[in-house]
Structure 1
């Protein structure tokens, strides 16, 4: 009788384990199709768009596989956009109206609320045009934007702007812990407004494409340590997650639990297998899946939004719950859109 009970219990246990494994596999295979918060799109003005359509074949890293400096880098770069190597490139809009219509379609079709980064006049205008899809974020760069902390404070309060970012000082060779930024961080901490700081790659050949002061070494997240000690109540999103300094990022996430990361743009800047194995999976396995936020880094190609969503949904190691965290829950918590969010 005892042997019989042991056999029955073993069968029940095995059946439960198999069912659990099946559910886990099903969870991993499911694409997330709920609401999405895109922490990283750009607001462009009509004059920001190129006068003719440019064709993009992601990923960026394979765009120019080799380069002979006897040539002008910009000429080679432009040639790639005019003569794409892939069968179905992303094509930039021919008009500003087309650009806006395609962005609106992407936001609505994919259930996206986007943190839209741009100049004050532009983000306010976009917020009025797309009140349900846009969270305005004030772009800032030392040396380009002549605005004092007090002036910025007034703009933020009077216009209900929710985020300061993209703070793109890296393009001017300015580190995130530059003392000139301290008054702005202090103001953001006092207002309890999060900041989104560019740490990571720009386009290939960035120093040769109009940003001679850009420095890749300034992507290191360890450069934020002074800032986080000085302003411990400051909410910080590391845009591009400080790529490629993954180990440094992980130690910062470990020691500073208030820090979040935005994956914007890097998922399509490199082959997705590389992004999966050496970036996203490493951050998740290290235990920081609750602080990764989706971002598309949509620039002049609106369909980068859907393309970026598909890359995350296709990640073979992410469960449905982890995708939901990346696409919505983590950003909702970071932005305090839902106070009940864990």
Structure 2
């Protein structure tokens, strides 16, 4: 006897298959942007602010940025701490090599190199820094600290890009060299002035660079995000010095809110610092808070809270800003303690799952 096919069963199976296919499609539609975002996030970087303005009588004919150093008492008139080995010259290749080796060993991936204009000591050091960083697999980008006019800012950026933009060691974002600005840019030119300077740059080098500006509050992040590719805070001493009833809660909430406010930028950043004390600077009139290092715990606590906020990049203030006592470079007071902390925390940051 011929059996009549059970078409209703086939229809049920087909409908069940269609439902599964629809569910899969809907699930993919929801999760695909998230996967795409995860894939598109910039490679994590640990970047340290670096200063190449130091000079010695032996090499440069003067003590640049070392005010009346005394090697006998190990004192510098305008710096609270004293570097291991004494004052050095930033144009000395052996010094640069030693610093790159220390930075690499600390798990730091790159340097934000203070740059003060064409012909300045920092300008002369910049190519040496790029070459040395390349030997250690490190990245470098300029930290432009001068901003007199719209024309001068554009000219400085184009000068740096024209001379060094193709160097393998220049820090990239989206495959383009990164330029970072100190807040003097916004203090001097404002958002409109920067937009005009950027338009001048883009006219000669269309979409060739990525620009990171400064923001000191969440409100400034919101206001400045449209005119920069990303933002950062340098002056963390003001935040870290605030008296709060529950510092652990503050740290967690501060970094969480800070990184969240940057959503939509090409990269999110969080800044940590080990300490701060600029009271010995003779020409600094504006009072700034002192951040005591203690036994190194505050630095570690900032690191932990910053990592928990899940930024793409972490900035460290600083490798060698001796005037403000924010350095992690080895000192007679603290040895390599801060470098050791960076090595440990950098490994945790780069291994964190998010």
TM-score (norm 1): 0.52
Tell me the matched-pair count.
237
State the Cα deviation string for residues 162-193 of structure 1 (Å, max 9, x = none): 332342418xx918954322334554795353
For residue 299 of structure 1, the aligned residue among 301, 318, 321 is 321
Q: Which has the larger radius of gyration?
A: 2
Structure (1/2) with the larger helix percentage: 1
Instruction: Return closer, same or farther for 1:241/1:184 CA change in 2, 3 Å cut-off.
Output: farther
Q: Which residue matches 2:304?
A: 281
For residue 260 of structure 2, the aligned residue among 251, 254, 258 is 254
Runs of 4+ in 1 over 6 A off after TM superposition: none
Structure number with greater CO (CA < 8 Å, separation at least 6) is: 1
Q: Which residue matches 1:183?
A: 196
Q: Which residue matches 1:208?
A: none
Q: Which residue matches 1:132?
A: 135
Contact 2:50-2:111 within 8 A present in 1 as well: yes
Q: Which residue matches 1:220?
A: 217
Within 2, Cα distance between the matches of 1:221 and 1:308?
Answer: 28
Contact 1:115-1:135 within 8 A present in 2 as well: yes
Instruction: Return closer, same or farther for 1:140/1:105 CA change in 2, 3 Å cut-off.
Output: same
Please report the RMSD computed on the Cα atoms of aligned residues, expressed in angstroms.
4.5
Q: Which residue matches 1:322?
A: 348
Q: Which residue matches 1:3?
A: none
Contact 1:165-1:195 within 8 A present in 2 as well: yes
Contact 1:37-1:115 within 8 A present in 2 as well: no
Within 1, Cα distance between the matches of 2:226 and 2:149?
Answer: 27
For residue 312 of structure 1, the aligned residue among 342, 346, 349 is 342
1:90 lines up with 2:83 in the alignment: yes
Within 1, Cα distance between the matches of 2:70 and 2:187?
Answer: 30
Instruction: Return closer, same or farther for 1:150/1:95 CA change in 2, 3 Å cut-off.
Output: closer
Q: Which residue matches 1:263?
A: 271
State the Cα deviation string for residues 207-248 of structure 1 (Å, max 9, x = none): xxxxxxxxxxxx3242131221345xx133433568518656
TM-score (norm 2): 0.50
Following superposition, the deviation at residue 147 of structure 1 comes to 1.1
Following superposition, the deviation at residue 37 of structure 1 comes to 4.9
Secondary structure, counterpart of 2:147 in structure 1: coil
Within 1, Cα distance between the matches of 2:257 and 2:90?
Answer: 45
Secondary structure, counterpart of 1:147 in structure 2: helix
Instruction: Return closer, same or farther for 1:176/1:109 CA change in 2, 3 Å cut-off.
Output: same
Contact 1:164-1:195 within 8 A present in 2 as well: yes
Q: Which residue matches 1:155?
A: 160
Q: Which residue matches 1:164?
A: 179
Superposition pairs of residues 18-29 of structure 1, within 5 angstroms:
none
Secondary structure, counterpart of 1:114 in structure 2: strand
Within 1, Cα distance between the matches of 2:197 and 2:131?
Answer: 26
Gaps (5+ residues) in structure 2?
Answer: 1-44, 56-61, 171-176, 241-250, 277-290
Q: Which residue matches 2:49?
A: 40
Contact 1:196-1:238 within 8 A present in 2 as well: no
Contact 1:53-1:92 within 8 A present in 2 as well: no
Gaps (5+ residues) in structure 1?
Answer: 1-35, 56-76, 200-218, 330-341
Following superposition, the deviation at residue 289 of structure 1 comes to 4.8
Secondary structure, counterpart of 1:107 in structure 2: helix
Q: Which residue matches 2:33?
A: none
Q: Which residue matches 2:35?
A: none
Contact 2:182-2:213 within 8 A present in 1 as well: yes
